[in-house]
Structure 1
Amino acid sequence: MKLPGHDAIARQADEHLVTQRVRLPRKVVERPIRQVVERLLMALLVLVATALTVYADRDGYHDNSDGPVDLLDAFYYATVTLSTTGYGDITPVSDAARLTNIFVITPLRVLFLIILVGTTLEVLAERTREEWRLKRWRSTVRDHTVVIGFGTKGRSAVQTVCATGLKKDRVVVVDPSPRAIDAATAEGYAGVVGDATRSEVLKRAEVDKARQIIVAPQRDDTAVLVTLTARQLNRNAKIVAAVREEENAPLLKQSGADAVITSSGAAGRLLGLSVLSPAASMVMEDLIQQGSGLDLVERPVVRAEAGKTPRETDDLVVSVLRGHRVLGYDDPSIGTLQLTDRLITIVRATPSTHVTPHLRPLPQD
C-alpha cells in the first residue's frame, strides 16, 4: 500500500489547526442569531416606550433649540438618555417630568443597558463556563474510549460499545469534519475536530489516558498513520482498527493494532453466508448487534465453574481465552476451566448485559 507524503498530510492537517478544540456535549436552547434578534427587539420596545412616555408629558420638557418638544424630539431624547449620552439640549423642567425621569426613565435606562450589554456578558460568561468545563473534563477523563472517525463504521462501533454499558461521557470522537463532531456532540459524546494523524490532535482527546481506541477512518493509509501515532502515545491501550482491503490488515497489526477488521471482507463473507443460508446470516447479524436478541459476551470464569468443562456451564460457551490463545469449546486441550480463563459466550440480550472491559490486548491467531 502506498502512503501519501508526509508534507501533503501536514498541509491538509493545517487547515484544521484553528478548529482543533475539544467540544463537550451540551443542550442548545436556541440559535444565537435568533437570540440576538429577540434582544434587539426588546431594546427597541424599551426605546419606543421611553419616547412615548416623554411625548405624553412633552409640556414638562424644554428644547433649548426651538422650545416645544415634538415626537421626533421625544425619540431623540429617549435615545440619548437610554444610551447615557445626555447632551443636555432637552431637559425636564416640570416636577412631573422630573419624577417621571426618576421612577420611569431611569429604570428603563437600566433595562435598556442590561439588554444590550447582557449579550456581551453572556458570551463572556459562556466562554468562561466552557473553559471551566474543559479543565474539569481534562482532569477527570481517563480509561475512556477514543473513536477516530465518525462515519458509518465509527458511529456503529461507538453505538455497539455503549450498548454494552459504556457511558457516553466516557467516549471522545475525533474527526476532521466539524459537521461530524457536531453530530457526535449532539448524541452526547465529546468531540475533537482535527486530523488524527497528528499527535497534537490525539493529545487533545487525551489518548495517552485512554483504555481503548477505535480507528475507523475512510482511508486505509490514514488508519495506518493514526494507529502508529496512537500506539506511540499509549503503549497499553487496546487498539482496534478497520480497513477496507484485506491486504492492508497485516500492515495495521505491524503498526500496533491489537485487532483488525476488514470491512469489505466481512461484508463479502456475510453476503456469501446469506446465499448459503439466509437464516444463518440473520443469526450472525443478531450476534454482532448488541442489545437485541442474542449477544456475544466475554466474561471471566467464576469460582463455581472452575474445574468444569465448557459444556457443563450454564451459558453457551463458544470459545475459551487462555493466555494469548483462543480455544474452541470442543478443543481437547482445554480440559477443565481455570479461574484465569475467560469465556466467550452467547447469552440472551438484556438491558444489563455488558462486556467486562479489560486492558489486555485481543489474542492473535
Structure 2
Amino acid sequence: MRDEKHHPHGKGRFSILRSLWYRSRSEAKEDAEAGRSITMPAQDTVPPLQQVLRRLAMALLVLTVTTLLVWFDRDGYNDNADGKVDFLDAAYYTTVTLSTTGYGDIAPVSDLARLTNIFIITPLRVLFLIILVGTTLEVLTERTRQQVQVHRWRSRMQDHVIVVGYGTKGRHSIETLLGQGYPKDKIVVVDPQQKAVDAASSDGLVAVLGDATRSKTLIKAELQTASRIIIAPQRDDTATLVTLTARQLNKRATIVVAVREDENVPLLKQSGANTVITSSSSAGRLLGVSMASPHVADTLEDLMTRRGSGLNLAERAVSNNEVGRSPRECADLVVAVIRNQRMMDYTDPECASLKFGDRLITIRRDEPSY
C-alpha cells in the first residue's frame, strides 16, 4: 500500500476518504460563503466609469445651457440683495433652481423670463434630475433584468449539460461539445472561483459560482434536470465528492469524470460515475505512442481535436438504409457498434448485420467551414 505522503495533492484513496469524513461532519453547518450566484452570459455594456463620466458631462451641459439662458435674460430677473443679476448670480440661480432648492432670493420678474422658466428651464430641471438619479434607476433596472433572465433560464433548463470546473479540461470539453453542435444555452458551468465564472460568462455561457460538492450549488445549476454532467476539477478528492453529490441529486444523468490517478477510478465508479478518464495515464500512453510513431500520435490528436475540418470521432444512430448491412458498407468508417448498451468491435460476428436501434462509432471527415 502506498504511503499517503506521496499524494500531497489529495490524489490518494485515503485522502479521498478523509475528505468524505470531514464533509459528513460539516454537512449540517450552514454554508456561509458569500457571493454564490448565477451569472448569465455577458453582454456588450458600457463600462461603469464611462457611464458616470457621460452622465457628468450631460449634467454639466444642462447646467451651462441654463446658466447662459438666465444670463442672456438677466434684465428679467431681480436679486433681492442688490437688484442686479451678474454671471455669478445666474450660475447661482441655475444651481438652486435645477436642484429644486429654490431660496427665492433671485426670481424672474418679466414675462419673458417667466415664460422661459415655464417652457425651457422646467424641462431642463426634470432632465437634470433624471441624470442625477439615472445611476440608481439603471442599477434597479439591471437587477430586475437579471432576475427575469434567471427565471426564464430556469424555466427552459431541461436535458442540459453541466460542466464542473472551468479549467483547461472543462474549457476543452465545452469546445468539443460546441463543435458537435451542442447549443451554448444548454451548457452550464459551475466553478468556485470568480475569475473562472467571469471567463465563462465572457464566453457566452451561464455560470454558477460556488462549491460543487454542496447540493445547494448544484441545485442552482438545475442539476436535477440535466442529462449529462462533466466533472473536471483540479483534485481527485473533489471529483469524488462532486460525483457523490451529483448522483444523489440525479439518478439518470450520464456522469463523466476526469481524474489524475488510476487508483481512484474504482472509487469514482462506485460513487456513480459512468465514465472515468484518467488524465495522467492517457497522457503517458500518448507520449509512448508519439515516441513509437509520431504519425499515429498526430492522427489520434486529429481525431480528438475538432478543428472544423479533418478526421473526427462521432457517435450516431444507424440509418434506415444501413439496417441489414455490414458496418464496412456504411458511408462512414465504422469502428464500433453499440447494441443493447454493449459496445462491440466492428469485426465482431454479432454486428455483421446492423439492426434498428444500433448506434455507430464512426470516423468521418468534417467539411471545412468558411
* Shared fold per TM-score greater than 0.5: yes
Whether contact under 8 Å (1:42, 1:115) holds in the other structure is yes
Q: 1:292 & 1:13 partners in 2: Cα distance?
A: 50
1:228-243 aligned at under 5 Å gives the runs 228-243=244-259
Q: 2:109 & 2:332 partners in 1: Cα distance?
A: 93
1:145-294 aligned at under 5 Å gives the runs 145-290=161-306, 291-294=308-311
1:89-108 aligned at under 5 Å gives the runs 89-108=105-124
1:119-130 aligned at under 5 Å gives the runs 119-130=135-146
Q: 1:214 & 1:310 partners in 2: Cα distance?
A: 30
Q: TM-score, normalised by structure 1?
A: 0.91
Whether contact under 8 Å (1:318, 1:329) holds in the other structure is yes
Q: How many residues align?
A: 351
Distance 1:307 1:131, change over 3 A: same
Distance 1:351 1:342, change over 3 A: farther
Q: 1:45 & 1:299 partners in 2: Cα distance?
A: 64
Query: Which of 318, 335, 344 is the aligned partner of 1:301?
Result: 318
Sequence identity (%): 58
TM-aligned CA deviation for residue 102 of structure 1: 1.9
Distance 1:84 1:152, change over 3 A: same
Q: 1:243 & 1:34 partners in 2: Cα distance?
A: 45
Partner amino acid, structure 1, of 2:83: G
Distance 1:98 1:150, change over 3 A: same
After TM superposition, which residue ranges in structure 1, 4 or more long, deviate above 4 angstroms? 7-15
Whether contact under 8 Å (1:21, 1:192) holds in the other structure is yes
Partner amino acid, structure 2, of 1:326: M
TM-aligned CA deviation for residue 9 of structure 1: 7.6
Match of residue 3 from structure 2: none
1:320-331 aligned at under 5 Å gives the runs 320-331=337-348
Partner amino acid, structure 1, of 2:144: T
Q: TM-score, normalised by structure 2?
A: 0.89
Partner amino acid, structure 1, of 2:179: A
Q: In structure 1, list runs of 5 or more residues that go unmatched.
A: 353-365
Aligned to 1:166, what secondary structure does the other structure show? coil
Distance 1:8 1:51, change over 3 A: farther
Query: Which of 137, 157, 181 is the aligned partner of 1:141?
Result: 157
Distance 1:12 1:344, change over 3 A: farther
Partner amino acid, structure 2, of 1:280: V
1:350 aligns with 2:367: yes
1:334 aligns with 2:345: no
Aligned to 1:202, what secondary structure does the other structure show? helix
Partner amino acid, structure 2, of 1:90: I
Q: 1:201 & 1:180 partners in 2: Cα distance?
A: 15
TM-aligned CA deviation for residue 318 of structure 1: 0.6
Q: 1:298 & 1:163 partners in 2: Cα distance?
A: 13
Partner amino acid, structure 2, of 1:39: R
Match of residue 360 from structure 1: none
TM-aligned CA deviation for residue 75 of structure 1: 1.6
Aligned to 1:253, what secondary structure does the other structure show? helix
Whether contact under 8 Å (1:309, 1:337) holds in the other structure is yes
RMSD: 2.1
